[in-house]
A and B are shown apart, each in its own frame.
Chain A
Amino acid sequence: MEWKNTADVVVIGGGILGVSTAYYLAKNGMKNVTLIEKGTICGGSTGRCGAGIRAQWGTEMNCRLGVAALDTFEQLSDELGMDVGLNQGGYLLVAYSDKEMETLGAGMKLQNSLGIQSRNISLAEARQICPGLAADDAVGFFFHARDGHADPFLTTFAYLEKAKTLGVTPYRFTECTGISVKDGTVTGVETNRGHIDAPIVINCAGAYAQDIAKMVGVNIHTWGERHEIMITEPVAPGVCPCMLMSFSGNYYIQQRPHGSIICGMSPEGHPADYQLKDTWQFVEAMSKILVHLLPRTKGIRVVRQWSGLYDMTPDAQPIIGETDIKNFYHSTGYSGHGFMLAPVAGKILAQHIMGKKPDIDFSMLDYRRFDRGEHIRESNVV
């Protein structure tokens, strides 16, 4: 692809956040959007994620973003002209203590007040939704039928292909090595392939976004944390029709429409060493959970395991907005939920940059909230 050394906007990062932001900018009339990615598209956290989409959150902002993302996902294949693999089997949240019931119950009240139809359900109903569910040790269950999952690869590529038709230029193997600033305003980016002049730069570098921000002395308080995940051979549908998830139980389990079961958990100690390591301890611990919770999975074979980085913030809510450097924006820190929130996050940041009123006011997601001590920790996270 021919190298262009000027752009109206440069987006850093070829994950779902970067690609969807580039798409919504072009859709809202921005010309000359260039996206740079140090490796290949969807090669970082997006391509490694658990693919879930939900509105069952514990903070109002995450609920608002989550339900807006569901609204977007429900019509995304039509809008982009490519199937994004949406499967709305619901999220079944499993609580293991009275204290957790209280936390999830408070979350449900908040969700209901925002129009999200989540419900407290019995073990019997949970077993109708997910036949074969053991969970005799669980105290209670919450369910929201519109939640589910989509294919992160296909969603990213669907955005990319549509964005290309709107004039977005993606450069792979193009690493950001510096940010140019003049008089407190961003003027472009340095890359391993040369300079690009641009009056607006957006950092969507996920678990590496803080490194990009630091190039111009901005501290956004994010870090990368390793999580592990595995997938089985494809089996008949219906083994796990919903997303099964527990915050205290530390697991999420879903079955792709094509039959494979994907499941993951947070590793001990939340390692922030940036090593994309695979451990046998994870496979053993995850398999124990599966056999205990869904005994009929015991004869299903694991074909692959991998790891990926959550782009964490101190309150597990994202950072969206401008920095102290004018026209240098951030959209990162999604804390393991970037895939599901990207359709709405890309849209609202693009609306803001184009001078339109964003569908959701995201001013509270300013990264300086951590310096001010104003953040509220999200409770519903694995």
Chain B
Amino acid sequence: MTGTHEQNEPIYVCRCEEITLDEIREWIDRGYDTLDELKRVLRVGMGPCQGRGCQDILLREISKRTGKPIVNVPQSTVRPPVKPVKIGLLAKGGEE
């Protein structure tokens, strides 16, 4: 182990949904080896940050565990809005 990480301390990859590296590895090994399927089963990348924090780590883990070059691991669809927007603001058509 490197750095200050304790061996038994969980490593949170998706902070929005609190999903750990161990959980991600377990589900990839069970055949959920696309980013879309990992999202569906664990909700990784579906929180407020929309995968900005975890997508690269997830793609790298899928690549490492399946042996596919990372360029061949498809990313997820990027969906609007670009950043979270309050319902009250949207209801006014975007005008404060």
Q: Which residues of A contact B (CB under 8 A)?
A: 40-43, 47, 153-154, 157, 232-234, 258, 278, 280, 283-284, 287-288, 290-291, 297-306
Given A304-B46, A305-B81, A298:B86 Cβ within 8 A? yes
Docked Cα-Cα span, A267 to B73, in Å, equals 33
Contact B41 A233 (CB under 8 A): no
Q: Is B61 an interface residue (CB 8 A)?
A: no
Q: Is B40 an interface residue (CB 8 A)?
A: yes
User: Which chain B residue lies CB-closest to A301?
Assistant: B84
User: Which chain B residue lies CB-closest to A160?
Assistant: B31
Query: 19 A-B contacts, Cβ less than 8 Å apart?
Result: A43-B36, A153-B40, A232-B87, A233-B48, A258-B43, A278-B79, A284-B90, A288-B91, A298-B86, A298-B88, A299-B88, A301-B84, A301-B85, A301-B86, A302-B87, A303-B48, A303-B81, A304-B81, A306-B79
Docked Cα-Cα span, A280 to B40, in Å, equals 25
Contact A303 B91 (CB under 8 A): no
Given A43-B36, A47-B40, A157-B40, A303:B87 Cβ within 8 A? no
The winner among A42, A153, A300 for most chain B CB atoms within 10 A is A153
Docked Cα-Cα span, A290 to B79, in Å, equals 21
Contact partners of A232 in chain B: CB under 8 A? 87
| Nearest CB on B from A281, distance (A) | 10
The contact string, 1 if C-beta is below 8 Å from chain A, for chain B 22-64, is 0000000000001011001101001110100000000000000
| Nearest CB on A from B67, distance (A) | 15
Docked Cα-Cα span, A297 to B85, in Å, equals 12
Given A40-B34, A288-B91, A278:B80 Cβ within 8 A? yes
User: Which chain A residue lies CB-closest to B90?
Assistant: A287
Contact partners of A47 in chain B: CB under 8 A? 40
| Nearest CB on A from B79, distance (A) | 5
| Nearest CB on A from B54, distance (A) | 14
Contact A287 B91 (CB under 8 A): yes
